[in-house]
């Protein structure tokens, strides 16, 4: 009988499902944060959005530094969270040790939370670089296990 890795009876899968979904929801929150910042500052990227402006003399711009900071943070999430989720699906299939897998998932999620806080509060480098690198290396560690176990 084959082992069912992708079931809620497998704690590795349930932990992956939790932390990957939490990471995706965090990433989705960046869209809301961008919209909230645009509305609070009357900064809009599209002419049709000007009807939402409080100040009727608002103009279309894509160069507001506060909005762009959030957007760059969101882009970094996209560049890191999507690979984590994709690699993680294959990683679960390698039947990793439960505790090792859980720490991979936790470390990645915490690194993304820290990265966002560091980015949004403009803390000095190398803090943001380190937070991003920790998450990146976590995904790379998982990918290495997949590649070593899935050789054709």
* The total number of structural domains that make up the chain: 1
Please check whether residue 43 lies inside any domain of the structure.
Answer: yes
**pLDDT, tens digit (0-9, with 9 covering 90-100), for 51-68:** 888 888 888 999 999 999
Please check whether residue 5 lies inside any domain of the structure.
Answer: no
3-class DSSP state for residue 149? helix
* Pairwise CA distance, residues 41 & 94, whole Å: 48
**pLDDT, tens digit (0-9, with 9 covering 90-100), for 93-146:** 999 999 999 999 999 999 999 999 999 999 999 999 999 999 999 999 999 999
Please check whether residue 50 lies inside any domain of the structure.
Answer: yes
In the chain, pLDDT over 70 holds for what percent of residues? 99
What number of helices (H) and strands (E) belong to the chain?
4, 0
Please check whether residue 6 lies inside any domain of the structure.
Answer: no
- Is the pTM above the cut of 0.85? yes
The whole domain housing 44 covers 11-149
Please check whether residue 79 lies inside any domain of the structure.
Answer: yes
One DSSP character per residue, 80-107 reads HHHHHHHHHHHHHTT---HHHHHHHHHH
Please check whether residue 2 lies inside any domain of the structure.
Answer: no
Q: What is the CATH number of the domain that holds 34?
A: 1.20.120.550
Please check whether residue 49 lies inside any domain of the structure.
Answer: yes
Please check whether residue 17 lies inside any domain of the structure.
Answer: yes
Residue 152 parent element (H or E)? none
């Amino acid at each position: 009988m084959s082992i069912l890795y992708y079931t809620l009876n497998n704690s590795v899968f349930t932990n992956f499902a939790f932390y990957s979904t939490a990471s995706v929801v965090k990433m989705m929150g960046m869209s809301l944060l961008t919209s909230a910042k645009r509305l609070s500052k009357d900064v809009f990227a599209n002419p049709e959005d000007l009807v939402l402006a409080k100040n009727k003399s608002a103009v279309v711009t894509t160069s507001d530094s506060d909005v762009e900071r959030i957007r760059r943070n969101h882009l970094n999430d996209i560049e890191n969270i999507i690979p984590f989720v994709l690699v993680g699906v294959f990683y679960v299939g390698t039947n990793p040790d439960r505790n090792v897998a859980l720490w991979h998932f936790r470390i990645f999620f915490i690194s993304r939370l820290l990265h966002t806080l560091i980015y949004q509060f403009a803390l000095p480098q190398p803090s943001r670089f380190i937070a991003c690198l920790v998450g990146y290396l976590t995904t790379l560690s998982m990918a290495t296990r997949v590649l070593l176990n899935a050789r054709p």
